Amino acid sequence: MGLPSRKPPIKCHLVLINRHLTGVMSVAGGHRINRHWHQEHQIVYPASGVLAVTTDEGTWIAPPNRALWIPSGAGHEHRFYGPTQFHSVAFDPGVYPVELASPTVIAVSPLLRELIITCSDPGDLPEEEVARLRVVLIDQLRHSPEQALKLPTPHDERLAEACALVEEDLTQVWTVADLGRRVGASERTLTRLFRTDMGMTYPQWRTQIRLHHALRLLAEDRPVTYVAHQCGWATPSAFIDVYRRTLGQTPGTYAAPVTR
């Protein structure tokens, strides 16, 4: 597939950004916002396209009808897949405390969606009304289901190399033993590293990497059959089943995101 490999994070200078954290923005696929941080919490909702947020800890990906919570102080970068319109709302952590210490993908109900859209672009609404809507928005966030759409960053060099081998061509079938022989680790060691370094088993990680790439391809309007094959599923129905169990809908609904 020629997909870029995942490497351990590189420490770099972080830029503090505290302007334009609330608003609406449209960007082309492939657009990036370089690594930065801000003093406020931020909720970002892609009404169309796909948004990925990467920190040293991993990558979180949000398709339409999902939102990304980014906590204050978290160094991160954004990448967009497919033409993306996204709504962003910033919150002063001293006024709106939320107990989410890491970026988190949140399921977006119709009510939460309308709150994010309105608070990101309130128009002529009085400030007092917008402030009340923000309180309701935060309350909805606290009660919204979190989504398992995090791809952890491998820190062990052998594990990082193994992950890169899989990601290079998702159509190739790798066992843990196969990967271990390529990276100089026993099957037992590599199995342990997936659990301790990534917090999941190899099959669980493989499903996550497939889903992440599937969402990127769907954002480019690729057919479901093509996406299923390129991401390593044996059949389109197998892909659809995993997608439905993870996201609660079929990939066919992806092509028609809800817009106001």
Gap between the Cα atoms of 115 and 108, Å rounded: 10
pLDDT band, residue 10 (cuts 50/70/90): very low
Q: Are residues 196 and 89 in the same domain?
A: no
Question: What pLDDT score was predicted for residue 19?
Answer: 57
Between 247 and 202, where is the model more confident?
A: 202
Helix (H) or strand (E) holding 242: helix 236-247
Q: Are 244 and 253 in contact (CB under 8 A)?
A: no
Last residue of a domain, one of 128, 150, 172: 150
At 212, which amino acid appears? H
- What confidence tens digit (pLDDT) does each residue in 49-94 have? 999 999 999 999 999 889 999 999 999 999 999 999 999 999 999 8
At 58, which helix (H) or strand (E)? Answer: strand 58-62
What is the rounded CA–CA span in Å between residue 63 and residue 159?
Answer: 27
Q: Categorize the per-residue pLDDT at 254 as very low, low, confident or very high, splitting at 50, 70 and 90.
A: low
Distance CA 165, CA 170 (A): 9
Alpha carbon distance 93, 95 (integer Å): 5
20: in domain:
yes
How many independent structural domains does the chain possess? 2
Q: 242: domain CATH number?
A: 1.10.10.60
Range of the domain at 130: 15-150
pLDDT at position 223: 94
Residue 15 vs residue 79, higher pLDDT:
79
Residue 3 lies in a domain: no
